[in-house]
């Protein structure tokens, strides 16, 4: 599907229709429409798969009376460790791979069967747990529920390992096959598809998460296997120049690591950047228990899904206006104000620490809190990537983003278990018999707020450092190879300042 027009031996397209180029790929309007259709269809299948697993698995593990620290281990720590270990390897390997199907598609296509297999294992986790319990239950003394939790953990391990290949490469894929002149329109449609999946799943499916668990997992496994697999087969990559080879000498590799670390930490502005994101990652470690907070307030799965679906509708409607608003301000300055607002509204969630309302009232309050947060979250999503682009060196953007991912995932690996242990400790401090069933989950904002504040401290320090380095008009990322190219030679003072931060 890649080249949608005829080409001669030197690659000149033989057509009178408007053309769109990316690398060696050439598209007509019809070819571009076909490209959009297949990638957006693949995104629909991918997003549905990514939505189902983290929403249902915690509910199933809680139903099996799994401790919260084990949930944190399986759902946060394990994925974070895999991210730290595999992300740099997969990213580097896909950059340098040259094959019949391109450099990105093989990594996605070959893991499709394994992701689908993991979903099927989760679908039959109860039966597999009972079978394994018959084999090892008498030897270990474990209950059938404990063995089933173990089966889910193994299935999650296979799922996260396989999904890491797709989740890493899929985002690079767009840059290789979508022409830059239509990238903004593509990303707009991409976000709309993601929001539509959330609406469909949360409003129509989530309420059956436990009662029809097997059917949901099997349907999603089939959808992903066929749908995402078809996208990988129907979209073609172009040809790439020969890849540079990594050194095979041990000493050289050690030096590469030292250089990598040294460049990423060469200036305090980058240190503040990474620390800020690490603390916000810590703040979100209790996010997997959010559904249990809602359930502890008497909300049903249908009501929780309704709130999420309503938020999805708002996201579809207001995503573009939020992005347009964010374009009027520097993304770093906008991020400062947005995150300050997020911190200010977090204590509103403390309301349930001091009062008890009926489930109907709790539903209305939760709906109102979500509505208050929607504008902030929309602008946050709009300025997030632009902020990265404006702060980090353009010539080594991938390198700095990968280091940021390693830092955040490394913290997440630690925080997953600790956050689960925190909730378990809160259950002992606030026992169900005295404070009400699952009161401990109302302490989630208590966990989050201190880390949000610490993250905000480093964001302020980042902002001050950015101002000292020139701010809006004169900031140049420290250590950027292109620093001299963007300074007017006639401005001797600016030139000397640029040289000084190399």
Higher pLDDT: 87 or 249? It is 87
- The pLDDT of 204-230, averaged and rounded, is 96
Look at residue 305 in the predicted model and tell me its pLDDT: 93
- The pLDDT of 69-78, averaged and rounded, is 91
The DSSP secondary-structure symbol of 20 reads E
Closest to 408 in 3D by CA, of 288, 290, 279 = 279
**Percentage of the chain lying above the pLDDT 90 cut:** 52
pLDDT band of residue 5 (cuts 50, 70, 90) is very low
> What is the chain's mean pLDDT, rounded?
85
Look at residue 190 in the predicted model and tell me its pLDDT: 84
pTM: 0.74
Look at residue 387 in the predicted model and tell me its pLDDT: 84
Q: Please state, in angstroms and rounded to a whole number, the distance separating the CA atoms of residues 137 and 146.
A: 10
Look at residue 22 in the predicted model and tell me its pLDDT: 84
Q: Give pLDDT tens digits for 101-159.
A: 888 899 999 999 999 999 999 999 999 999 999 888 778 788 999 999 999 999 999 99
Going 338 to 339 to 342 to 344, the CA torsion angle's sign is negative
Q: Identify whether the C-beta of residue 258 lies closer than 8 Å to the C-beta of residue 42.
A: no
Q: What's phi and psi for 479, nearest 5 deg? A: 85, 0
Higher pLDDT: 398 or 449? It is 449
Q: How far from chain centre, in Å, is Cα 303?
A: 25
> What is the residue whose two structure tokens read 């990238």?
183
Higher pLDDT: 276 or 487? It is 276
SS (H, E, C) 260-307: HHHHHCCCHHHHHHHHHHHHHHHHHHHHHHHHHHHHHCCCCHHHHHHH
Going 22 to 28 to 34 to 37, the CA torsion angle's sign is positive
Look at residue 493 in the predicted model and tell me its pLDDT: 47
Q: Please state, in angstroms and rounded to a whole number, the distance separating the CA atoms of residues 237 and 35.
A: 11
Q: Identify whether the C-beta of residue 31 lies closer than 8 Å to the C-beta of residue 177.
A: no
The DSSP secondary-structure symbol of 247 reads P
Q: Is the pLDDT of residue 501 over 50?
A: no
Q: What is the CA radius of gyration of the chain?
A: 25
pLDDT band of residue 19 (cuts 50, 70, 90) is confident
Q: Please state, in angstroms and rounded to a whole number, the distance separating the CA atoms of residues 162 and 68.
A: 25
Highest mean pLDDT among 134-148, 149-163, 414-428, 483-497: 149-163
Q: Please state, in angstroms and rounded to a whole number, the distance separating the CA atoms of residues 1 and 5.
A: 10
Q: Please state, in angstroms and rounded to a whole number, the distance separating the CA atoms of residues 339 and 451.
A: 12
Q: Please state, in angstroms and rounded to a whole number, the distance separating the CA atoms of residues 205 and 320.
A: 27
pLDDT band of residue 293 (cuts 50, 70, 90) is very high
Burial class (CB in 10 A: 0-12, 13-18, 19+), 494: middle
Region of residue 3 (left: phi > 0; alpha: psi -120 to 50; beta: else): beta
Q: Give pLDDT tens digits for 256-286.
A: 777 778 888 999 999 999 999 999 999 998 8
Q: Please state, in angstroms and rounded to a whole number, the distance separating the CA atoms of residues 443 and 353.
A: 8
Q: Is the pLDDT of residue 338 over 50?
A: yes
- The pLDDT of 328-355, averaged and rounded, is 91
Highest mean pLDDT among 117-121, 382-386, 493-497: 117-121
pLDDT band of residue 228 (cuts 50, 70, 90) is very high
- The pLDDT of 301-319, averaged and rounded, is 87
């Amino acid at each position: 599907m890649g080249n949608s027009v005829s080409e001669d031996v030197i690659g000149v397209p033989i057509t009178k229709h408007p053309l769109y180029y990316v690398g060696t790929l050439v598209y007509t309007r019809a070819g571009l429409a076909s490209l959009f259709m297949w990638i957006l269809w693949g995104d629909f299948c991918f997003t549905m798969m990514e939505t189902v697993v983290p929403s249902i698995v915690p509910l199933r593990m809680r139903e099996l009376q799994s401790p919260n620290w084990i949930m944190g281990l399986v759902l946060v720590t394990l994925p974070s460790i895999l991210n730290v270990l595999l992300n740099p390897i997969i990213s580097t390997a896909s950059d340098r791979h040259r094959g019949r199907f391109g450099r990105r598609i093989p990594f996605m296509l070959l893991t499709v069967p394994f992701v689908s297999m993991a979903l099927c294992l989760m679908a039959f986790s109860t039966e597999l747990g009972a079978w394994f319990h018959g084999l090892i239950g008498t030897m270990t003394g474990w209950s059938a529920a404990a063995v089933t939790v173990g089966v889910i953990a193994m299935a999650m391990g296979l799922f996260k390992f396989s999904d890491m290949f797709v989740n890493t490469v899929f985002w690079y894929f767009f840059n290789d096959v979508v022409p830059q002149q239509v990238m903004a329109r593509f990303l707009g449609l991409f976000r709309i598809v993601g929001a539509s999946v959330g609406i469909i799943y949360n409003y129509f499916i989530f309420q059956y998460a436990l009662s029809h668990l097997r059917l949901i997992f099997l349907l999603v496994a089939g959808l992903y296997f066929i749908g995402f697999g078809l996208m990988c087969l129907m979209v073609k990559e172009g040809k790439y120049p020969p890849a540079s080879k990594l050194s095979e000498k041990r000493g050289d590799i050690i030096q590469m690591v030292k250089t990598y670390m040294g460049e990423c930490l060469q200036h305090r502005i980058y240190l503040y950047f990474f620390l800020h994101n690490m603390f916000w990652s810590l703040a979100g470690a209790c996010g997997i228990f959010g559904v249990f907070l809602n359930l502890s307030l008497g909300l049903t799965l249908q009501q929780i899904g309704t709130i999420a679906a309503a938020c999805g509708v708002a996201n579809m409607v207001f995503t573009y206006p939020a992005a347009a608003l964010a374009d009027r301000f520097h993304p770093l300055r906008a991020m400062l104000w947005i995150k300050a607002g997020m911190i200010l509204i977090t204590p509103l969630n403390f309301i349930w620490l001091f009062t008890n309302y009926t489930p109907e009232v709790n539903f209305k309050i939760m709906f109102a809190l979500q509505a208050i947060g929607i504008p902030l979250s929309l602008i946050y999503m709009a300025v997030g990537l632009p902020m990265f682009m404006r702060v980090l060196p353009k010539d080594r953007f991938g390198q700095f983003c990968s280091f940021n991912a390693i830092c955040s995932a490394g913290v997440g690996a630690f925080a997953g278990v600790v956050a689960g242990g925190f909730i378990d400790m809160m259950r002992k401090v606030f026992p169900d018999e005295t404070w009400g069933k699952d009161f401990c989950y109302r302490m989630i904002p208590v966990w989050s707020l201190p880390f949000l504040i610490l993250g905000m401290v480093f964001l302020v320090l980042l902002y001050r450092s950015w101002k000292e380095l020139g701010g809006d008009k004169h900031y140049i990322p420290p250590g950027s190879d292109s620093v001299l190219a963007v300074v007017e030679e006639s401005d001797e003072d600016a030139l000397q300042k640029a040289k000084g931060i190399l």
